[in-house]
Amino acid sequence: MTPAKPQLLKARLENLHPTQLTVGKVEVELKRKHWSQLGKKARAAALAEHWFPGVLGPDQRYYIVDHHHFGLALLEEEVSRVRLLLLKDLSWLTPAHFWPVLDHHQWVHPYDDKGQRRDFSAIPPRLTQLQDDPYRSLAGELRRQGGYAKDATPFSEFLWADYLRPRIALKRIVADFPQALARAMKLARLQDARYLPGWSGVING
């Protein structure tokens, strides 16, 4: 049997449900700044070319499985409609089965701003309710500055955030983000980080 092809739909952004607990608010602000600098035609083109991958879940609700930062940035910029790439229809599942299926596909990341795994019920129903994780902001900026390569591994930035979490104090990130980034850049080259997606250090020996 041939699997169903993904469908491209139009959706109200405010009705899309997240599949994670946190975002990096610094990254959200960067995306807002970039959006504010675009003209009308450029904004229309960006929305036409950018698809939010998602699944249809219980009660006919759509859940996005990526691009939470961009989605939140667009909401804060009062964008109402986006394009949704429907990967799978799981609406026939009960919530008790739905979330483990997402977990199996690596389409959900139920970890809080301390890096601790939480119950699926802790995932908020709205993008605007996502928590801020400063380490996710640091990991995102580290990638943009060349600390590691962009990688297709699901939630790769969160893996880097968890690597940095015990190595850089939260108060340092809050008080002096550039200094924390410089420290993160050094940590990213270490052998200890070689298990992480996109690592670009040098293997010794």
pLDDT single digits (tens) 141-151: 999 999 999 98
202 lies in a domain? Answer: no
pLDDT at 1 over 70: no
Instruction: Judge if 118 and 153 occupy the same domain.
Output: no
Return the residue matching tokens 């297709």: 152
CB-based contacts of 189, cutoff 8 Å, min separation 6: 200, 201, 202
117 lies in a domain? Answer: yes
Instruction: Judge if 109 and 139 occupy the same domain.
Output: no
Instruction: Judge if 85 and 117 occupy the same domain.
Output: yes
Quote the CA–CA distance of 23 and 135 in Å, as a whole number. Answer: 9
Q: What is the CATH number of the domain that holds 140?
A: 1.10.8.10
DSSP string over 115-155? S-B--GGGS-SSGGGPEE-HHHHHHHHHHHTTSB----STT
Q: Which of 82, 100, 127 is the last residue of a domain?
A: 127
Instruction: Judge if 67 and 145 occupy the same domain.
Output: no
Domain span at residue 158 reads 134-192
Report pLDDT for 78.
96
What are the distances in angstroms from CA 16 to CA 21, 52, 80, 81, 96? 14, 10, 11, 10, 20
**Local structure of residue 5 (DSSP, 8 states):** P
Write out the two tokens for 181.
């980034």
Instruction: Judge if 33 and 85 occupy the same domain.
Output: yes
Q: How confident is residue 2, by pLDDT bands cut at 50, 70 and 90?
A: very low
Report pLDDT for 204.
59
Report pLDDT for 3.
52
Quote the CA–CA distance of 154 and 152 in Å, as a whole number. Answer: 6
Mean pLDDT of 106-115: 96
- Report how many domains make up the chain: 2
Report pLDDT for 152.
87
Report pLDDT for 178.
96
Mean pLDDT of 96-112: 97
Mean pLDDT of 29-35: 95
Instruction: Judge if 53 and 115 occupy the same domain.
Output: yes
Instruction: Judge if 25 and 47 occupy the same domain.
Output: yes
50 lies in a domain? Answer: yes
- Mean per-residue pLDDT of the chain: 94
Quote the CA–CA distance of 140 and 144 in Å, as a whole number. Answer: 6
Please give the single-letter amino acid code of residue 41: K
200 lies in a domain? Answer: no
Instruction: Count other Cβ atoms within 10 Å, centred on residue 95.
Output: 12
Mean pLDDT of 98-107: 97
Quote the CA–CA distance of 24 and 157 in Å, as a whole number. Answer: 10
pLDDT at 196 over 70: yes
Q: Which of 127, 145, 165 is the last residue of a domain?
A: 127
Sheet of 51-57, strand order = 7-12, 81-89, 51-57, 61-64
